[in-house]
Structure 1
């Protein structure tokens, strides 16, 4: 009911406006012979039909009936004129729309211009036909009347239609400007209005004193171009309409030095000039609007995350640095990471995961309010800079955790849920100087700690704490690892693997170990940097480096390579999930002289337990290349024997925790003996790690363990030293 009442009110308003403009035009905007120089009602009817639909041509029908009823000499003329105007408006509006929505761009402006020309021609044709049929127009007068009618309607459309469409089309981003566009101030607008009024006065007064009046038209035209560059299209269209109406009225009534056109040529030239004055500023304003909206869209794309609409990481960092540097308002940085989103991606699809991320991004933005900075920094991770001290931020963190846990996202016949881990660090000048990089590092570490504690919780980081210092050390190690990798400064060390029984000249077995030497000479063992490498997902890159470096050394030393029976190289758990590793290794082995069957890749039992199916596929790919496999740290992955027969490995390396103190532990002896027996049953060899005493060695021989590795047989040493030793040479 409310919608119908609103439509009725709107219909009555536009009908009254259309009727009133026709009356005013016929009285004040008519030239010699009674033909109106400017017909705004044509523009009003055209704009209403384009804006609200073809059925709204009823506005033209009713207003034309009212107007012609006052002036029509006969019923026939009234019927023909009203039908002609209504049909012309409907056809022109159909031409503009034709199933396409208007967005008031340059392309749409050209469509409107074409529709306006079409309506003017049709309306003139129908109107001249009505006059001719009722005997009010001689055949000799038809060409002149047609031109005057067409140009009058066209000027009326150019004056009224843009303003109405721009004012009523609220769905279009008319006022959405680029952040790089500085809007006009109120003072500038007032000054502009004063100048426009002054130009009207100048035209009226100076034109009446004999100064060439057409030259004075340049004064308001310059101001309209100014408006097109600085003001909104609505402002420009309205002021252009007012200007053209003033010039048309002054010409029709002979005011301010204007002389009404007497001939057809004078009329055509004047009306075409006024049409240009009406169209050019509006087209320029639309071009400026299109440019600003385009730059706004590009700005959005450069600064916003496409999935959530939140700030992207680059824009967030820039704005966060600015806020932290320019204000001393308390602030807290939150780093939020969703728990186990990979389960959603793997069990449903990545599209479902994206839906979850989108929903959570909206919930975060709504929860923290407009004062906070919110960003999706990548994947399922978010960063939030709250303008609150630590206590207030903790309250917000608790609320976020509860809202995310309670969120339900429907997906097909499933309902998706997840939780989050949040790291917090307060931006206190006394501790960290409000440095963004430091804050982000500590917040990331705190989030990681929350996730390690089980997730669905928050963890507060204090930069001066031991935990924060340890994280900083890991960060420094990660930076050093990247630098060492770039400069290829890792050292290859090896440790021998010896058979526990007679070797029978089968060749040299060894495991490649990595060392990192500082410029001062200090050598770092893997335990000092491997955690940093795993934390920052650098394992696959290190593995590729080790493989390439080992193969290059063996290729440069073919005599040493001939003596190698097995070169063991450890692979990180992340390498098992690297889809491109198989291609890399295949390409590297193709150009290597070292036999692939002498390369033994070692993977840990814990990485296998994490994803057994992926591990089996990875082993199959590597074995297709000719490589052998060893299952490292065996015995630490729980229920190991249950899947041992499914893994196509050549060696089982018994974890050193069972070997240390073997002679004094009946349990360890039982475990080692069981591993050896089962391995032999399924056709695999065993290697005992961390063998340090002769007693342990003897027990391993009794238990039929095939190989042993440890300090008893040799400490890790450089590969050059290892192969230079007499026992190897």
Structure 2
């Protein structure tokens, strides 16, 4: 049942004159129908009362919805009926109008104050069951008794029903007024709220429940006529499961209308089938109570079902919302794309998708603070939601937003894309916090989905992400919308097959370990022991024993479980090799093993390394672990825990690709790094680039002051080797010194010697 008894806020809706006149007609007809279904017996020949009183419920609903101005249709309709029914007793007519207006007005006023005083005033947190029970208390305890009191006073003052006691009249009035209020008020408010017109009421009735009610009424009548009135009364209880089934299956409006129709049917059958006047009073009272409780039972079940559906919808909605920006998340965006797919098919028109990414936003987190990043993303989301050409804005991941562009032709979608991305075309986005100011580049891309596109939603979303990755390679950092194609889907499926090939290779242990030496650029100190320092590299093999190209392996490692599996496989293979060949381990100064970003956030990685070292009986000193700078920064606390744990074991830590992230020097200050590997992008052009030479020199100066070793990557010719030596980089790695070799071949080979010119400068060993 909808939240029909919400306290609401002023102003209330205004009751139009025409609608009020029709309502007055409905009140008149309801009162007339009630009197047609009234009954009397010889014992109470002067006491004829209705089975129910619809004006009680209609009046309550009018006052609740429209306030006191809603009483005029009720007074008009009742006035017309009272003049026709009690024209000989004007006092009774007047008090009948006052009674039917006063009870609903006071009841609605008290209920509204009660709900407004409730601590739970937010509509989305209210309970339909709680509000309905409050309505029952007010209707049965205040509205109906007040109407009954005034009505009884009128009847007695008017000289009607002299043989009946005032208590009899009061109880009868109270019962029929309460039944009318409980049956009609919730149903009428629901019909208004759901905007169901009177001409739709008959179609809204629940036919199976109607059939059940007709069957109960016929059986009840036959049993009563045959003298089995006790069985007939018991049969009335079958109304409960019929109403329960309707309430759980159908909407609130259908349940309300069906309750009115079936209750009138069964109550009338019981009244007119009871021939014994002496038993009539008790039989009607008993059956009326049964139907009253059954009606309340059905309404409460309906409210429970409605509350449950509302809770499910709220949970489903929350599951589709991003908790940082209140935009949609990826799940919510897929739901919006599904709705868009249906609309595309209906309109036979294509639609565009827009995606925005901010480069290095995650990496900036520990420089400016997570709160600053969250505020930045909320501001970015607000800008996107404010764009006229976008809908269903979603945050797919930190720094990546997607949205739907309008329907239309490819040209129209491209125009909309250009209007949206114009606001991000003027340059980098500025981000400041913790005393640090950063400039981040926005990436923009689009995709056009034709009306008859056959790709799945997941394939379309992958294509959208691929377009964003392509934008990072463009000079203007954008990719205009292009139609999603079957070729793209085939390419993605081929990519999926490659991922599966890498997964199968790791599962079957099809990897080969290679090693590339780290060679000292200066001769070691006299008497220092010669050892092999090297980085372990891995090659993944297919089923035929051929090497799977590294770009395919790297692409597969975007799957976090595969990255973890590869790291563990390489660590286990290296440890097993040295456990089987201790003589080779004696020739090792430092064996560097790589850890991917997935391992940095894996709480089980440190225990795994510790356990495997113990299982193979290996010392910890010969081993180092390389982590790339950008990956470490993405998980600051997890990386710190892992690095400190490895240091406590006695291993060394290397920072790979140094200089490419946002937190280069800050990272050196905050984490226990033993040596850095200067990224090859700064090394390969040292012969021709003064800027690169200055960058490398500055890295070396800072590293020396912090007591951190240095390694130059991508030393591919003698000229570059001479430069890194002159710049006092400690070690070199690259094809100018040695290509990657099988692990055993490198260790059993001669110790490497620097090809640089002799110098008085000595290089400290990495294994020191």
* Equivalent in the alignment of 1:29: 38
Distance 2:685 2:93 in 1: 119
Give, in angstroms, the shift of residue 512 of structure 1.
1.1
Q: 2:421 aligns with which of 401, 405, 409?
A: 401
Classify 1:12/1:293 alpha carbon distance in 2 versus 1 (closer, same or farther; 3 Å).
Answer: same
* Equivalent residue number for residue 180 of structure 1: none
CA contact (8 A) 1:154 1:275 kept: no
CA separation of 1:270 and 1:700: change in aligned 2, threshold 3 A? closer
Q: Which residue of 1 aligns with 2:466?
A: 445
Stretch deviating more after TM superposition (501-510 or 295-304) = 295-304
- Structure 2 unaligned residues grouped into runs of 5+: 1-9, 430-439, 753-768
Contact 2:589 2:622 in 1 (8 A): yes
Asked whether the 8 Å contact 1:174–1:289 carries over to 2, the reply is no
CA distance in 1, matches of 2:314, 2:140: 38
Matching of residue 421 in structure 1 with residue 444 in structure 2: yes
Give the alignment's TM-score, normalised by structure 2: 0.65
- Equivalent positions of 1:191-210 (< 5 A) are none
The answer to whether 1:501 aligns with 2:523 is yes
Q: Secondary structure at the match of 1:565?
A: strand
Cα distance in 2 between the residues matched to 1:226 and 1:655:
71
Partner of 2:287: 273
Q: What are the residue-to-residue correspondences of 1:618-633 with 2, within 5 Å? A: 623=647, 626-632=650-656
Shift of 1:423: 3.0
1:334/1:451 Cα in 2 relative to 1: closer, same or farther (>3 Å)? farther
Q: Does the aligned pair in 1 maintain the 2:445–2:467 contact within 8 Å? A: yes
- The answer to whether the Cα contact below 8 Å between 2:443 and 2:477 also exists between their aligned partners in 1 is yes
Q: Name the residue aligned to 1:312.
A: 332
- Please give the alpha-carbon distance, in whole angstroms, between the structure 2 residues aligned to 1:459 and 1:591: 50
Tell me the equivalent position of 1:287: 301
Aligned to 1:412: none
Displacement after TM superposition at 1:284 (Å): 3.6
Equivalent residues in 2 for 1:313-328, closer than 5 Å: 315=335
CA–CA separation in structure 2 for the residues paired with 1:418 and 1:701: 35
Partner of 2:757: none
Deviates more, 1:435-444 or 1:469-478: 469-478
Identify the residue that residue 755 of structure 2 maps to in structure 1: none
In structure 1, the residue matched to 2:512 is 491
8 A Cα contact 1:39 1:155, kept in partner:
yes
* Residue 493 of structure 1: how far off its partner (Å): 1.5
How many corresponding residue pairs? 684
Contact 1:84–1:127 (CA under 8 A) maintained in structure 2: no
- CA–CA distance in 2 between the matches of 1:396 and 1:475? 33
Separation (CA, whole Å) in 2 of partners of 1:156 and 1:671: 87
CA separation in 1, counterparts of 2:523 and 2:157?
A: 123
Question: How far apart are residue 421 of structure 1 and its match?
Answer: 1.6
The 1:211–1:667 alpha-carbon spacing in structure 2 relative to 1, beyond 3 Å, is closer
Q: Distance in 2 between matches of 1:677 and 1:5?
A: 77
Is 1:601 equivalent to 2:619 in the alignment?
no
Partners of 1:7 and 1:514 in 2: CA distance: 79
CA–CA distance in structure 2, aligned partners of residues 251 and 665 of structure 1: 103
The verdict on how the C-alpha distance between 1:302 and 1:708 changes in structure 2, with shifts beyond 3 A counting, is same
**1:39 matches 2:59:** no
CA contact (8 A) 1:80 1:130 kept: no
Alpha-carbon distance in structure 2 between the residues aligned to 1:74 and 1:657: 101
- Decide which moves more: 377-386 or 671-680: 671-680
Question: Which residue number in structure 1 is paired with residue 184 of structure 2?
Answer: 160
Between the aligned partners of 1:515 and 1:552, the Cα distance in structure 2 is: 17
Q: CA deviation at 1:36?
A: 1.9
Query: Using a 3 Å threshold, how does the CA distance of structure 1 residues 375 and 115 change in structure 2: closer, same or farther?
Result: same
Structure 2 Cα separation of the partners of residues 670 and 92 of structure 1: 81
Q: Report the CA distance shift for 1:49/1:496 in structure 2 as closer, same or farther (over 3 A).
A: same
**Equivalent residues in 2 for 1:47-62 (5 A)?**
47-48=61-62
Of 108-117 and 54-63, the range deviating more from structure 2: 54-63
Q: Is the 8 A contact 2:660 2:679 kept in 1?
A: yes
Q: 1:698–1:466: structure 2 CA closer, same or farther, 3 Å change rule?
A: farther
Higher alpha-carbon deviation: 81-90 or 301-310: 81-90
Q: 1:334 aligns with which of 344, 353, 361?
A: 353
2:173 corresponds in structure 1 to: 149
Task: Indicate conservation of the 8 Å contact 2:75/2:97, yes or no.
Answer: no
2:312 to 271, 275, 298: 298
Q: Does 1:118 align with 2:158?
A: no
- Mapped to 2, the partners of 1:290 and 1:636 lie a distance apart of 58
Distance across 2 between alignment mates of 1:687 and 1:537: 30
Give the Cα–Cα distance (whole angstroms) in 1 for the partners of residues 335 and 424 of structure 2. 25
Provide TM-score, normalisation by structure 1: 0.68
Q: 1:418 to 1:23 in 2, by over 3 A?
A: farther
Structure 1 residues 549 and 333: CA distance shift in structure 2, 3 A: farther
CA distance in 2, matches of 1:658, 1:91: 79
After superposition, the Cα gap between the structure-2 partners of 1:471 and 1:677, relative to the gap in structure 1 and judged at 3 Å, is same
Determine helix, strand or coil for the equivalent of 1:569. strand
Deviation at 1:445, TM superposition (A): 1.5
Once residues 184 and 638 of structure 2 are traced to their aligned partners in structure 1, the CA distance between those partners, rounded to angstroms, is 69
Are the counterparts in 2 of residues 236 and 282 from structure 1 also a CA contact under 8 Å? no
Q: Which residue, 4, 14, 30 being the options, matches 1:6?
A: 14
Contact 2:511 2:538 in 1 (8 A): yes
Task: Check conservation: 2:145, 2:174, Cα contact below 8 A.
Answer: yes
For 1:665 and 1:44, locate their aligned partners in 2 and report how far apart those are by CA, in whole Å.
88
Name 2:277's counterpart in structure 1.
Answer: 262
Question: What residue is the counterpart of 1:390 in the other structure?
Answer: 410
Decide whether the 8 Å contact of 1:398 with 1:458 is kept in 2. no
1:39 is displaced (CA, Å) by: 3.1
Give the C-alpha shift of residue 273 in structure 1: 2.3
| Match among 256, 263, 278 for residue 237 of structure 1 | 256
Question: Does the 8 Å contact 2:206/2:254 carry over to 1?
Answer: no
Task: Give the Cα–Cα distance (whole angstroms) in 1 for the partners of residues 97 and 691 of structure 2.
Answer: 111
CA deviation after TM superposition for structure 1 residue 513, in Å: 1.2
The 5-angstrom pairing of residues 372-383 of structure 1 reads 380-382=400-402
Report the more deviating stretch, 236-245 or 90-99: 90-99
In structure 1, runs of 5+ residues without a counterpart are: 176-183, 409-416
Structure 1 position 567, deviation (Å): 1.6
- 1:268-306 deviation per Cα after TM superposition (whole angstroms, max 9, x unaligned): 322442454566467547635753674475367558723
Give, in angstroms, the shift of residue 394 of structure 1: 1.6
Alpha-carbon separation, structure 2, partners of 1:637 and 1:107: 57
SS in 1 for 2:463: helix
Alignment deviations for residues 23-77 of structure 1 (CA, whole Å, 9 cap, x no partner):
8756873633234223333333444455567998999999999969964669999
Higher relative contact order (CA 8 A, sep 6+): 2
Alignment map for 1:567-646 (pairs within 5 Å) = 567-571=591-595, 574=597, 578-580=600-602, 584-585=605-606, 588-589=609-610, 592-593=613-614, 594-603=618-627, 623=647, 626-632=650-656
Offset at residue 323 of structure 1 (A)? 8.4
Given that 2:243 and 2:259 are in contact with CA atoms closer than 8 Å, whether structure 1 keeps it comes out as yes
Contact 1:333 1:426 in 2 (8 A): yes
Deviation track 1:670-728 (CA, whole Å, cap 9, x = no partner) reads 99889778865664444455567789878987887654444566442333444455869
